[in-house]
A = this chain, B = another copy of it.
């Protein structure tokens, strides 16, 4: 696979760039995309960079009916020296294959796809933002394309990578958000697909999100689907609590996504000597800590938002105010450290970043 040549077809008509002060998230796309096809008889084939354009699919393509679809999200950052850095792409590609395995989608060659992403970004390098807080969001995704209505794994797929210059996901990103603890709808259980980035997980979450927004909350905090007692994750982020000096986050249990930012946060806290542990966390215990004045900080972690401080949690009738609705020192320090490493401002002691123009295989 690694020896496969990526065919490049450049666009003949470059798009106008959007107003980079009003990027928002995931709204604008660059001039090119990477595409690779799969067929049971051929494996992954025909890797190519082509102009960003609509894709044409049979209405009976399985993705529309049976949802065999997985994706990843990562970001590229421009450094002050003009380099473009990727942040831990190996973690994302490894997780893509974890999702593939669960969804019965054929594995991809991780190193090859990382190289393909680097080539694609190099082709569209002029789209990588330069301003503080902006980045190039990278969305690899795989969809089942066989035109067939039987319920079984597809024999054909497309892997596509698209690029979107983005501002911050939540707008003014370090403004703490209010979170609603969901005790009616369920996101996932052990034995399901909650640990994967498959499209259906997100579809299933929308209704709860919409209802939370109606009552003034930005996101929902999911509880476990069995007992509805234990904290799982927030909307599209992992969740951390700082309680009485210790930072805790739910342990990966089969229904929680293994976030790359989550892992980076745990590593950074350990590196700094801040007590941090992954464990089963009862919402009741969060409430007790809050009543006792020991719930010091709460924050979500994810590629889109990096660190999203939480200023209020609502669980049943209980409203828990966190740090007077202000960002806490650990949340701020983590945000500064991660975005600093991502943008090359802070020395990367962890080997997390890689230059897109460095096309050798990542080990």
CA distance A199 to B225 in the complex (A): 20
Give per-residue flags for A129-156: 1 if the beta carbon is below 8 A from chain B beta carbons, else 0. 0000000010101010001111111000
A192 proximal to B (CB < 8 A): yes
Question: Separation in Å of the A181 CB from the closest CB of chain B?
Answer: 13
Q: Would A193 and B198 count as touching, CB distance under 8 A? A: no
CA distance A25 to B148 in the complex (A): 8
A184 proximal to B (CB < 8 A): yes
Question: Separation in Å of the A66 CB from the closest CB of chain B?
Answer: 4
Question: Separation in Å of the A25 CB from the closest CB of chain B?
Answer: 5
A40 proximal to B (CB < 8 A): no
Q: Would B202 and A151 count as touching, CB distance under 8 A? A: yes
Knowing A162-B59, A191-B184, A192-B225, say if A149 contacts B200 (CB, 8 Å).
no
Q: Write out the residue numbers on chain B whose beta carbons fall within 8 Å of the beta carbon of A139.
A: 60, 65, 149
Give per-residue flags for A18-39: 1 if the beta carbon is below 8 A from chain B beta carbons, else 0. 0000001111010001000000
Q: State which of B187, B202, B225 has its C-beta within 8 Å of the C-beta of A67.
A: B202
Q: Would B191 and A148 count as touching, CB distance under 8 A? A: no
Most buried by B among A27, A55, A204, A205: A204
A350 proximal to B (CB < 8 A): no
Q: Write out the residue numbers on chain B whose beta carbons fall within 8 Å of the beta carbon of A54.
A: 56-59
Q: Would B200 and A67 count as touching, CB distance under 8 A? A: yes
Could you say which of A78-86, A206-214, A262-270, A280-288 contacts chain B? A206-214
A253 proximal to B (CB < 8 A): no
Q: List 15 A-B contacts (CB under 8 A).
A: A25-B149, A26-B60, A26-B149, A29-B59, A60-B139, A64-B160, A65-B141, A69-B203, A150-B169, A153-B206, A186-B189, A193-B203, A198-B200, A198-B203, A199-B200
